[in-house]
Every structure is written in structure tokens, then in C-alpha cells.
Amino acid sequence: MKYEKIQAPKGVSEYAPPLSAAFEWVRESLISPAKLAGYQLMELPVFEDTSLFSRGVGESTDVVSKEMYTFEDRGGRSITLRPEGTAGVMRAVIEKGLDRGQLPVKVWYSGAFFRAERPQAGRFRQFYQVGIEAIGLDDPAIDAEVIAIADQGFKSLGLKNYRLEITSLGDAQSRAAHRVDLLKFISKLDLDEATAARAAINPLRLFDDKRPEMKAAMAGAPLLLDYLSENSAQNFKAVKAYLDQLGIEYLVNPRMVRGLDYYTGTTFEFIHEGLGAQSGIGGGGRYDGLMEILGGQALSGIGFGLGVDRALLAAQAEGVLVENQFSSDLFIIPLGENQMSACLSIAAKLRTAGIRTEIAFGDRALKGAMKAADKSGSRYVIVLGDSELASGSVELKRMSDGSTRSVKIDQLQSVLLGDL
Ligand code: HAM
């Protein structure tokens, strides 16, 4: 009997060698600036009580109304695979009482997220984010720092062709004043039922409508930025001044609408020029009321989520991934069983010094092993035979130009470290 092959579910992103090394590098590069800034790991479940997202992320969003993977577990509870990270972090911070300790609470996370979107290039049903949240401090300096940390992540990948867009959704007073005029404006539009329903929950969503007729209809709509209270305007000005001082370029986009409903105050998005429709490589902002509606104290917070899959696509589009960037430094070919034990010891010692060392395993002829060395992309190769072990010296071959030099086995470490 012949079994049929089983395929991965539609739209999931997954990484196998050789691309997985680049994925790992992108993920680590994106989050390391946060670690350097004192953010600490939060490792959370990938499934949560459904109400965490319906309440926290908002019923008017596509994420909650159309894209959640929700199911009943064996105990009859409604469970949802996390579509984003912020609500879960809030839930855990409240549950563990971190909000009663030193503020701000500063955490980072990394992992898989799930949205039942229509799959296309750069849009997956399971995708990867790294993110941070800074909770419990209302200060424009921390807004600027959070944005700067995200920017540093993209810069450390070597990305250049992206832009940062920012805006402010103001405080409750600003949004209330704007909402009155926006609803007045919208009431004059001829909206279909679904759009009207969305507008009733969150009228700002109409700015996000991609249909040309809606774009045209919204062209003259009142903009929230023009309704900022004195306090919100001062805050936004201070955030911009800090960004200027840090040399971080940005574009103020008063029509930006984030896909999640909890945002207030400073909000931002990073957009890459080389990715087509799915160009958002990261985004975030402040969320004043989130902790409170999840049953915690009235503490504000700010954070971001960066798309690891999209950042990897952006790195490929900009050609910043260098060939053999992730391959071994040294490939050792033992000529026979006698040499294998020496080879294992040499490799173990070099690896403790941080030198990426591979061994040619299996009973291969020298030619086959050299081919494997070539394929591995290793920078250097040595062959270990009887005469090498007897003399204590090997020929260290540099693969980029084929040049060789004689090196004492016990000096391999210092020679390689000097060269790498
Ligand atoms: P978000 O803008 O929904 O924000 O997602 C952040 C990033 O995740 C996006 O910019 C994008 O790069 C990536 N992303 C989102 N959906 C997909 C998908 N279907 N396929 C591939 N990549 C995707 C949030 O999730 C907020 N929790 C960020 C945040 C943290 N705000 C405050 N704190």
C-alpha cells in the first residue's frame, strides 16, 4: 500500500535549512536591541481564553471578527490561538501582579501568531513576531525609545528601504471631540450595511478602507491630529523632538489606522518599499485603556510587534543576506577510522572557542568529502590523515581562493580566530 503525502496546512510559514539560518538571524537581530535596553523575556501560551482577544483587541477589527482560530476545548471552553501578543502580555502582567512592582514593566516576546487571513506573499496564517511592551509609564521619552528600539532592529539587519510613519490618536478627550465631527461627516456618506456597522463600533476604521470609492469619500474627513488636546499635542511634539534628536526619520501620517482597536496616543508603522501589498514590517503604539478593560489597574503602556517573516523577505529583497553567511568556519575530513577520534577532539575544542566546526562523517572517499566541504560553504578545510597526525601539522585550505598554508594542529584555534 502506498500512502499519500501529507502537506502543511495552507498559508503557514515554516523554515527549513538553509533558509532557517537566515530566519534565526533575522529574529535575533530584531530583538537584540530590546535585550540591550533591559527588556526581559515573557514566554506565553499560544492559546488563550477567547474573550481576552474579543475584549482586548476589539470587535470592530478584522482580526477579531474574521481571522481568529477559535475552537472549543475538551472542557467546553472557548479557546483562541493568539492573533497578536499585547493582550496576552497584559493578561499575564495582571495575573502575576507585575504591575504592582517596579514600573515600567519591560518585557519582550517572540513566537508564532495565528490569523486566518487569505494567504499571499508575506501574509501567512501562522507567522512570527518579536515584540516588546513597556507598561506603567506615561512619558514621551519611552515612546521614542520604543520606536528607536524597533528602528535599531531593522537597521541591524542592514535594511535601508523602509520608512517610519507615526501619528497620535490622542487622549480620550481628543478622540471624543474628533468622534463627534467624524460621525457627523460619516452620516452624510452612503454606506453599505457592513461598513456602517464597522463605523458604528470604530469610525476610524473607515480611513483604512482600501476601496477607491471609500478612499475618495474619506478624502475630506476630519483628521484626529487636528483635534488633539493641549496635553496630547504636547506629548506628540515631545515624541517627535526625541526622534529628531536620535536622528530617526519619520513621516507623520494622520490617516494611519492600526488593525487593532486598543491604540491611543502615539502609534507607528514601519513600511518596507520592496514588499508589495504586505509592506508592513512592524507596528505598534500606546494603549491607555487596555489593562483596565482586561481587569487590571488603569495603567498605560506602549509596545511594538515586528514581523519576522516580512523582515526576512525585506532582507532578501534588499540583498543584505551574504552568501555563506551562516556556514561553518572549518570543515574537517578524517581520512579513516583512526583519525576520527582525533577529529572529534579537535572539533570539540575549536567549538568551545566559538569556531563553527563540521566533520565529514561516513565512509567517504576524499573526493566525496571535498565535495561535501564545498557544498557546506565552509571557509576553511583540513584533511586529517596518518601523516598529519604524526607531524602534528595540517594544510589549512582557504576555500575562497584555494590557497593553503601549513598550521600546527594545536595552533588551529588562534590562527582561525585571527582570520575569521
Ligand atoms: P500588527 O501590526 O497587527 O501589531 O502586527 C505586527 C506585525 O506583524 C506587522 O507589522 C507584520 O509585519 C506582522 N504580521 C501581521 N500579520 C501578519 C501575517 N498574517 N503574516 C505575516 N506577518 C504578519 C500587533 O500585532 C501588535 N500586537 C503590536 C503591538 C505591540 N502594539 C503594541 N504592542
Domains for the chain: give ranges and CATH numbers.
19-171+229-318 (3.30.930.10), 330-419 (3.40.50.800)
pTM score > 0.85 for this model?
yes
DSSP state of 226: G
Q: Is 61 in the pocket of ligand 1 (CB under 6 A)?
A: no
Compute, in angstroms, the gap from residue 305 CA to the centroid of ligand 1.
5
Q: Which is the closest atom of ligand 1 to the Cα of 63?
A: 3
356 labeled binding residue = no
Residue whose CA lies nearest to ligand 1 atom number 11: 307
C-alpha distances in Å from residue 94, one per residue of 36, 51, 56, 82, 369:
25, 15, 13, 18, 57
Compute, in angstroms, the gap from residue 83 CA to the centroid of ligand 1.
9
Q: Is 259 in the pocket of ligand 1 (CB under 6 A)?
A: yes
C-alpha distances in Å from residue 207, one per residue of 139, 180, 211, 252:
28, 16, 10, 15
User: ∠34-40-42 over CA atoms, to 5°?
Assistant: 115
Q: pLDDT tens digits for 369-399?
A: 888 899 889 999 999 999 999 999 999 999 9
Q: Is 127 in the pocket of ligand 1 (CB under 6 A)?
A: yes
Q: Is 205 in the pocket of ligand 1 (CB under 6 A)?
A: no
Residue-wise DSSP of 282-312? EEEEE-SSHHHHTTS-S--EEEEEEEHHHHH
> How many C-beta atoms surround the C-beta of residue 217 within 10 A?
18
Q: Which is the closest atom of ligand 1 to the Cα of 306?
A: 7
Instruction: Read off the amino acid at residue 132.
Output: I
Q: Which is the closest atom of ligand 1 to the Cα of 307?
A: 12
The per-residue pLDDT string of the chain (420 residues; one tens digit each, 9 = 90 and over) reads 899 999 999 999 999 999 999 999 999 999 999 999 999 999 999 999 999 999 999 887 889 989 999 999 999 999 999 999 999 999 999 999 999 999 999 999 999 999 999 999 999 999 999 999 999 999 999 999 999 999 999 999 999 999 999 999 999 999 999 999 999 999 999 999 989 988 888 899 899 898 999 999 999 999 999 999 999 999 999 999 999 999 999 999 999 998 898 999 999 999 999 898 899 999 999 999 999 999 999 999 999 999 999 999 999 999 999 888 899 999 999 998 889 999 999 999 999 999 999 999 987 678 888 888 998 899 999 999 999 999 999 999 999 999 999 999 999 999 999 977
How far from chain centre, in Å, is Cα 239? 23
By the 8 A CB rule, do 291 and 94 touch? yes
> How many C-beta atoms surround the C-beta of residue 69 within 10 A?
15
Residue whose CA lies nearest to ligand 1 atom number 28: 305
351 labeled binding residue = no
What φ, ψ does residue 47 adopt, rounded to 5°? -125, 150
Quote the CA–CA distance of 235 and 233 in Å, as a whole number.
5
Compute, in angstroms, the gap from residue 175 CA to the centroid of ligand 1.
24
Quote the CA–CA distance of 260 and 115 in Å, as a whole number.
13
Quote the CA–CA distance of 230 and 375 in Å, as a whole number.
63
Q: pLDDT tens digits for 79-92?
A: 999 999 999 999 99
Compute, in angstroms, the gap from residue 191 CA to the centroid of ligand 1.
28
> How many C-beta atoms surround the C-beta of residue 254 within 10 A?
13
Q: Is 143 in the pocket of ligand 1 (CB under 6 A)?
A: no
165 labeled binding residue = no
Residues in the chain: 420
Quote the CA–CA distance of 318 and 161 in Å, as a whole number.
8
By the 8 A CB rule, do 124 and 114 touch? no
Q: Is 310 in the pocket of ligand 1 (CB under 6 A)?
A: yes
395 labeled binding residue = no
The dihedral region occupied by 324, where left means phi > 0, alpha psi between -120 and 50, and beta the remainder, is left
Quote the CA–CA distance of 137 and 230 in Å, as a whole number.
19
By the 8 A CB rule, do 113 and 129 touch? yes
| Cis amide prior to 33 (ω within 30 degrees) | no
Give pLDDT, residue 58: 87
**Helices (H) and strands (E) in the chain — how many of each?**
15, 16
Residue whose CA lies nearest to ligand 1 atom number 3: 259
Give pLDDT, residue 61: 86
Q: Which residue has the cell 485603556?
A: 289
Give pLDDT, residue 201: 84
Instruction: Read off the amino acid at residue 142.
Output: I
Pocket-testing residue among 68, 310, 312, ligand 1, by greatest number of atoms within 8 A of Cβ: 310
Three-state DSSP class for residue 404: strand
Q: Is 83 in the pocket of ligand 1 (CB under 6 A)?
A: no
